Amino acid sequence: MIATQEDDGSDPPKNQNRIARYRWVIWVALSAIGVNWHAYVYMAKNPANLALVGLTILNLLGVILFFLGRMTISGSKKRLDKWLGEITYPLYLNHYAASIAVLSLMPAEQRGSLLFVSNLIACISISLALSYISEPLTRSIRNRIRGASV
């Protein structure tokens, strides 16, 4: 009798293959999170170091974006992906102006993680507003250039 992979149980499940493929990414992500958490716990006693919270959030965002880039997209996720794609260009164009506005409005003694969160909210809000204002004006031109409606 000839043994097959199904008989001897040597065929690993798909999840194990996926975890093995991304093991280095998971290791780097957990290491970055651990280093940032250690820095936050032991260095955040000084309010000037609260920007480390923002660094931790950025590391997590990087890991999340990596795995989102590897996903296959279903119907509801396609709408979210399209919506996020629509706000990226206004965000790119206006993040500097929004950052300067938030920085100039915030008192110097309250800068740190509050500045980061306030800046993030302001940038995304301005990006959404500009996206909704400019989208109807540019849709027909964009569709003519592309040759199809998206």
Residues 83 and 53 both lie in one domain = no
Q: Are 123 and 98 in contact (CB under 8 A)?
A: yes
Q: Examine the fold and report which residue of 55, 71, 87 is the final residue of a domain before the chain moves on.
A: 71
Residues 25 and 96 both lie in one domain = no
Buried b or exposed e, range 32-56, using 16+ CB within 10 angstroms:
beeebeeebeeebeeeeebbbbbbb
Residues 108 and 123 both lie in one domain = yes
Q: Which of 4-8, 50-54, 59-63, 112-116 has the lowest mean pLDDT?
A: 4-8
Q: Are 124 and 91 in contact (CB under 8 A)?
A: yes
Provide the residue type at 12 as one letter: P
Residues 55 and 113 both lie in one domain = no
- Number of domains the chain contains: 2
Indicate if the pLDDT at residue 1 is higher than 70.
no
Supply the pLDDT for residue 68. Answer: 72
Indicate if the pLDDT at residue 109 is higher than 60.
yes
Provide the residue type at 131 as one letter: S
Give the mean model confidence (pLDDT) for residues 120-144.
86
Q: Examine the fold and report which residue of 31, 48, 71 is the final residue of a domain before the chain moves on.
A: 71
Q: Which of 59-68, 89-98, 110-119, 126-135 has the lowest mean pLDDT?
A: 59-68
Global pTM exceeds 0.85: no
How does residue 84 score in pLDDT terms, banded at 50, 70 and 90?
confident
Rounded to whole angstroms, how far apart are CA atoms 15 and 22? Answer: 11
Residues 67 and 37 both lie in one domain = yes
pLDDT digits (tens, 9 = 90+) for 35-68: 766 666 666 666 556 666 667 677 777 777 777 7
Residues 52 and 86 both lie in one domain = no
Indicate if the pLDDT at residue 8 is higher than 60.
no
Residues 65 and 125 both lie in one domain = no
Residues 28 and 62 both lie in one domain = yes
Show the domain range for 102. Answer: 73-150
Residues 89 and 138 both lie in one domain = yes
Residue 45 has φ and ψ, to the nearest 5°, of: -65, -25
Q: Examine the fold and report which residue of 45, 71, 97 is the final residue of a domain before the chain moves on.
A: 71
DSSP class of residue 44 equals T
Indicate if the pLDDT at residue 27 is higher than 80.
no
Nearest CA to 116 out of 46, 40, 57 is that of: 57
Residues 61 and 95 both lie in one domain = no
Supply the pLDDT for residue 10. Answer: 56
